[in-house]
Structure 1
Amino acid sequence: MAGTILPAGERAYRVVRPIATGGFSVVYLARRSDPFGREAGREVAVKVLDLPHLHERLRDAPPAFLDPDAPLAQQMAEVRERFVNEAHLLRQLRHPNIVAALDEGELPGPRGRAPFFVMEYVPGADVGEIVRRSGALDWPAALAIVGALLSALAYLEREGVMHRDVKAANLLVRPSARAVPSAADVRLIDFGLATAMTRVPRRAQVLFPREVPTRPGMWWGTLAWCPPERLAPFLAGGEEAPDVQVDLWGAGLVAYLCLTGVQPFERGRFATDADQFAALIEGRYPRPRALRPSLTPAQEGVLLRALALRPADRFRDANEFWAALREAAPG
C-alpha cells in the first residue's frame, strides 16, 4: 500500500505506512498529495476495510456480534455496512476530543471495492501504552485524560450516540512537552461498534444510514471492558440499564487504570476465562487504595461509585462523574 494514491472527491492522499491494525481494518499514515489548497502534505490517518483479511477472519472465527449461521457474503456485507456507518457518523460529530473525519472513498481491490475514510492524524500513544510505560498517572494528568473522555461522552449522550467500545486503547494522547497533558491533546477513536441510543430512534436514521442491528443477548467490544449488566442482565434490577451506562462503565475503568496502573478485569490477571467472567459479574476487583495508598478516600469513592456493580448505583451521566472527580481533587 505504501505510495498508493487514494482519491477522495476533489482531494487525494498518498499512503506512507501502516500505523495500526484492527479486527477488520488497517489504519495508514498518509499525506495530502493533491496540489490544491493550503493543506498539501498534511499528515492524516486513513482507515481502510481490509477485505482479504475480513474474508479469512469471518470464514475461520466470526465475531460474536455476527450471526454465525449467516452466509459468509451476508456477514461481509454487515461488516461493510458498519464500516460505512462509522465513516458517516464521524463526518457529523464535532467535538474537540473526538477524532475528526475529513473524507471518504473506495479503493479497488481483488475482493471488490474497499471503503476507506480519512481522519485527522493523532501522533502519540494510547492511554494503555502510556500507563504500561509510566505506571499510574498523577492526579492532574489522570484528570485531564478522564475529563476529556467524559466531555466527549457527554456530547455523545446529547447526540444520542453510544460508542460501545470505550477502553484505554481507544483513547489517544498527543505527545507534549508539558508535565501534564492538556485535555485538547486527547482523542476518542474507533466508532466501529457505535450505535444510536434507544431513546432517539429518529436520530438513528440521520447518524447511521445503514440499519445494522445487534444480535439480541450479544455483548460487543472487549470482555475486560464490558459492563457487567451486559453479561448478567439481572444486575439491572429487572429493568433495561440506561444506554449511557455502557460508555460510563468504560470511562470508570479508564479512570481506575490511570490512577492505579491496573485494569482489574484484564484476562492476564485470571487463570481461566470463567474466572474473568465471574469477577466481572460479581464486582470483584482490588480497592483502589490497596493498589495506590496515596489516593484519598474521596478519590477512591469516585472510582468505587463509577464501578458499582449495579447500574443504579453509578453516576447518572458523564457530567455527574466529572463533577465528582473535580470535587475529589487534592487540596
Structure 2
Amino acid sequence: MDPHDPMLGRVLDGRYRIESRIARGGMAAVYRAHDLRLERTVAVKVMHPGMGEDPTFVERFVREARAAARLTHPNVVAVHDQGDDHGTLFLAMEYVPGRTLRDVVREHAPMTPAAAVAQVEPIVQALAAAHRAGVVHRDVKPENVLMARSAPGEPERPKVADFGLARAVNTATQYTATGVVIGSVSYLAPEVMSTGRVDERVDVYAVGVVLFELLTGRKPHEGESPMQIAYAHVNTDVPSPSSLVAGIPDYVDALVLRACARDVEVRPSDASVLLQHLRRVGLALTQGVASDPELVEDLLPRRQYVRPERPAQAHAPVEMTTVVGTGLTAAGTGAAAAPTEHTSVLSVSGTGTGTGTGTGTHSYPTDTLTPDAGHSGAGGGSGEASPTFDDHLQALDASQGQRRRRRGGPVTLVVALVLALAVGGGAWWFGMGRYVETPGVVSLTSAEAVETITGAGMVPVEGEAVFSDEVAAGVVVSTDPGPGEQILRGGQVTYVVSRGPEEYELPDLTGKTLDEASAVLRQFKLDVGEEKETYHEVVEKGRIISTAPDAGTVLHAGKAVDLVISKGRKPIKVSDQTGKDADKAAASFAKAGLEVKTSKEFSDTVDKGKVIRQTPTSGTLYRGDTVTLVVSDGPEMITVPNLRSSGVADATAKLEALGFKVVTKKATIYLGLQYVAGTNPGGGKKAPKGSTITLEIV
C-alpha cells in the first residue's frame, strides 16, 4: 500500500473515513473505510482523479451504482451509498472480509458433486435476482465470489461482488457503446468473443465453467495465452467433468454441458432457469441417484453449435488487447495472494493500433483490480489492415499446425505466416524479451522473500506491514507486482509482511462521556456495542460506569465493546408517614437508602408509637439523605400528690400547677369544713397531664 496515497485519511461526504486501500483498477480503486454516521466498516470504490471530469464515465459510474443498488439479496455484496465529494465520485458497499471462491477451489477442488452444486447454488440465486432486475454481471468468476461468515465458526456463505462491471439491459441483447468487452477469458461465453453479444446467458456460461472447475479442479480450456484459451472456447465444446474425474453422475455432466453450450440458443435463458435445473440435480444427488437417463435427456444440449460466419474483410478491423493479471483476496484479511485469471479486453474499435495495461483482478467491486500498484505494458500494431478476431484464430490454427485451405491460396497463407511471425516477435519483445515474472514469495518469511526476489534478479523493497488474521507475523502477505505478474528485468518488487492479527488492549473508559469513549474506541479500531444506562451513586450522569469486556482485555479490531452509562444518582420519592406506625416508616425509608433520625414527644392526640410529624413530608431525596421522624410517646403521666386534709384552695393550686384540671364534690359525710377528704384518682397514682382530678370535700 502506498503511504502517500492522498485518499488515506480523507473523509468523503463528511461520512466515510478512508483507512486503507484494498485494490485498484483502471477506472477506480477500492478502500476499506469507516462509516462515521453508522459506526461500521464499509468498502468504498473511488473513481480515479480526472474520471469525474468525463461526462461519459460519470454517467456510466452513476448508472452502475443505481443498477447495483437495486440488488438486495443475501448473496450479493450490498451497495449502501453513492456520492460526489467535490468531484470525487464514490460508491460505498458492504465490506466482506475473508477469502474468495478462488481459495476454495485451490484448497478443496475437485469437490464431490453434492458439495460443488451446494457451493454454486447461492451464486446462481444471486444472479437470478440480478437478472430479474435487468442486470447482467458479465464477469462471473471465483475471484468475484467472496466467502463471508456471519460469525466466527459459522459456515461460509458465497456473496457475489463486482457488479461494478455489470450493465443494466433493457433488451435481450446489448452491445457496449464503445465496443469494449471486458471479462476473464476462461469464463467468457463464446458469443462475447465472436460477436460481442451480451445477455443473461453469458453469466449462465460462466457459472457452468465455475461448476466444472469445482468438480475437476481445473478449467475446461487452458492454454499458454489468452488467445489460445479464447480460441478453445469459441471452437471447442467444454468436456464432460466425468472425463477428468471418475464418479461424477451423468446428469451432473449434462447440467455442465447445458450451461456451457456454445450454441447460446440451447443454453438456459437466464439464472432463474439454471437455478431450476441446478435444484433438480441437487435433489438427485441428495437422494443418492447414480444415474438418471430421463434427467440427462432433459438437460443435454439438443442443437449443434455452429460457428458464426466470418465477417467480411470490408468490415472494421478488430483490435485485441490482452491484459494478464493476478488476483488478491480482500486486503487486510490475511488471505494469501495467488495467481488467478487472465483478464482480456477485446476492443472492436476499428483502429489499427493497440495498447494495453497490465493489471490484476481483485474480489472487491471495481473494474479490473490490482493490489495497490501495478505495471503497464504496451503493444504496437500495424496501422494497415489490422487483423480481425477470426484472423487471429486462423493464425493460431496455422501456428498449431492445423492447416486449412482458404480462398486466396498461397497469398492468404503468406499473409497468415507473416502475421504469426509478427505476433510472435512482438510477444517476445514486449513480453518475454523485456519482462520476467514476479516470483511467488507469499507465505515466506521476510528474509526468505528477500533472498527469493534477489535471486530472481529483482530488487526487494519492504512495504508497510499490514495486520492479518490468517498470516502469522513476519510472513509475507502480498507483493506488488503480484506473483506471476510481468515486471521489467531488475525492477522493484514490494513485499508486504504480516503484523499478525490486528488486536488492541481495551483502555479504561470509566468516567468518560459516551462521546469521549466512542472516540477512544475508534482510535483503537473498536466499535461501540450495546449501551446500557443505570443509576449510580458516584459516577456522574452521562459518564461510563463499566465496560464489557473489562479494561485490559485484548480485542480484535472491529470488536464491539458494551458500555454501561450512568443515569446519575437514583431518585427516591418521599411519602408522608404522619400518623402511621413509626417503626414501619423508619424501616421503609432505610430500605430505600435514606438515613432516618427519630425523636419522641408526648402527645395527647397521637397514639404512642405513631409519627407525629415528618421532615420532609414529600419530594425527592437521594441515597444517604436524611428523613426526620417525631414519634409520639403518648400523653405525659403525672403522679397525683396526696392531698388528704389539705384545704380546698391549696389542693386546687397544687394540682393545677402539675397540669391537672380540678373539680370538687361533697363527700358522703359533708361537714362544711372545706378540707380534702380524698382524691380521684387517689394520691400516689399517675394520671395523664391535663386530665381532671376530683377533690372530695368534707
TM-score by length of 2: 0.37
1:304 aligns with 2:276: no
1:30 aligns with 2:33: yes
State the one-letter code of the partner of 1:215.
Answer: T
| Higher normalized contact order (CA 8 Å, seq sep 6+, divided by chain length) | 1
Other structure's SS at 1:230 match: helix
User: For the residues of structure 2 that align with 1:102 and 1:125, how far apart are their CA atoms?
Assistant: 22
Q: What corresponds to 1:165 in structure 2?
A: 139
Q: What corresponds to 1:5 in structure 2?
A: 11
- Deviation for aligned residue 1:180: 5.6
Change over 3 Å in CA distance of 1:291–1:200 after alignment to 2: closer
Q: What corresponds to 1:59 in structure 2?
A: none
Q: What corresponds to 2:194 in structure 1?
A: 232
1:196 aligns with 2:171: no
Other structure's SS at 1:313 match: coil
Q: 1:187 aligns with which of 131, 154, 159?
A: 159
- Deviation for aligned residue 1:241: 6.7
1:314 aligns with 2:260: no
Q: 1:252 aligns with which of 187, 208, 229?
A: 208
Q: 1:89 aligns with which of 46, 63, 67?
A: 67
Change over 3 Å in CA distance of 1:258–1:79 after alignment to 2: farther
Q: 1:15 aligns with which of 18, 22, 26?
A: 18
State the one-letter code of the partner of 2:101.
Answer: V
1:130 aligns with 2:104: yes
State the one-letter code of the partner of 2:167.
Answer: T
Identity %: 32
State the one-letter code of the partner of 1:151.
Answer: Q
Change over 3 Å in CA distance of 1:322–1:88 after alignment to 2: closer
Q: What corresponds to 2:232 in structure 1?
A: 279
What do the CA deviations read for 1:180-235 (whole angstroms, capped 9, x no partner)? Answer: 64xxx22222122322324389xx9xxxxxxx95235x4332222221012224xx
- Deviation for aligned residue 1:279: 0.3
User: For the residues of structure 1 that align with 2:24 and 2:85, how far apart are their CA atoms?
Assistant: 17
- Deviation for aligned residue 1:251: 1.5
- Deviation for aligned residue 1:92: 2.5
Change over 3 Å in CA distance of 1:132–1:78 after alignment to 2: farther
8 Å contact kept, 1:281–1:309: yes
- Deviation for aligned residue 1:140: 4.4
Q: What corresponds to 2:459 in structure 1?
A: none
What do the CA deviations read for 1:147-189 (whole angstroms, capped 9, x no partner)? Answer: 11211222222222222222222111114766864xxx22222
Change over 3 Å in CA distance of 1:103–1:304 after alignment to 2: same
State the one-letter code of the partner of 1:86.
Answer: E
1:214 aligns with 2:170: no
1:243 aligns with 2:196: no
User: For the residues of structure 2 that align with 1:260 and 1:178, how far apart are their CA atoms?
Assistant: 28
Change over 3 Å in CA distance of 1:106–1:141 after alignment to 2: farther
User: For the residues of structure 1 that align with 2:64 and 2:121, how far apart are their CA atoms?
Assistant: 24
8 Å contact kept, 1:160–1:200: no
User: For the residues of structure 1 that align with 2:226 and 2:158, how far apart are their CA atoms?
Assistant: 32
Change over 3 Å in CA distance of 1:230–1:290 after alignment to 2: same
Change over 3 Å in CA distance of 1:102–1:198 after alignment to 2: closer
- Deviation for aligned residue 1:80: 3.4
State the one-letter code of the partner of 1:134.
Answer: H
State the one-letter code of the partner of 2:24.
Answer: T
Other structure's SS at 1:275 match: helix
State the one-letter code of the partner of 1:194.
Answer: A
8 Å contact kept, 1:171–1:189: yes
User: For the residues of structure 1 that align with 2:82 and 2:111, how far apart are their CA atoms?
Assistant: 37
8 Å contact kept, 2:81–2:93: yes
The structure whose residues are more often strand, as a share, is 2
Q: What corresponds to 2:244 in structure 1?
A: 291
Other structure's SS at 2:165 match: coil
Q: What corresponds to 2:49 in structure 1?
A: 51
User: For the residues of structure 1 that align with 2:254 and 2:112, how far apart are their CA atoms?
Assistant: 17
Other structure's SS at 2:58 match: helix
User: For the residues of structure 1 that align with 2:68 and 2:178, how far apart are their CA atoms?
Assistant: 24
Q: Tell me how many residue pairs correspond in the alignment.
A: 277
Change over 3 Å in CA distance of 1:213–1:50 after alignment to 2: same
Change over 3 Å in CA distance of 1:278–1:27 after alignment to 2: same
User: For the residues of structure 2 that align with 1:178 and 1:325, how far apart are their CA atoms?
Assistant: 28
Other structure's SS at 2:162 match: coil
Q: What corresponds to 2:366 in structure 1?
A: none
Other structure's SS at 1:18 match: strand
- Deviation for aligned residue 1:322: 2.1
Q: What corresponds to 1:143 in structure 2?
A: 117
Q: What corresponds to 1:208 in structure 2?
A: none
Runs of 5+ consecutive residues of structure 1 not aligned to the other structure: 56-72, 205-211, 234-239
Change over 3 Å in CA distance of 1:144–1:21 after alignment to 2: farther
Other structure's SS at 1:26 match: strand
Other structure's SS at 1:316 match: coil
Other structure's SS at 1:293 match: coil
8 Å contact kept, 2:136–2:166: yes
Q: What corresponds to 1:114 in structure 2?
A: 88
State the one-letter code of the partner of 2:206.
Answer: G
8 Å contact kept, 2:109–2:213: no
Change over 3 Å in CA distance of 1:273–1:242 after alignment to 2: closer
8 Å contact kept, 1:260–1:288: yes
State the one-letter code of the partner of 2:32.
Answer: L
- Give the greater-gyration-radius structure (CA): 2
Change over 3 Å in CA distance of 1:157–1:22 after alignment to 2: same
Which of 95-104 and 128-137 deviates more? 128-137
Change over 3 Å in CA distance of 1:107–1:274 after alignment to 2: same
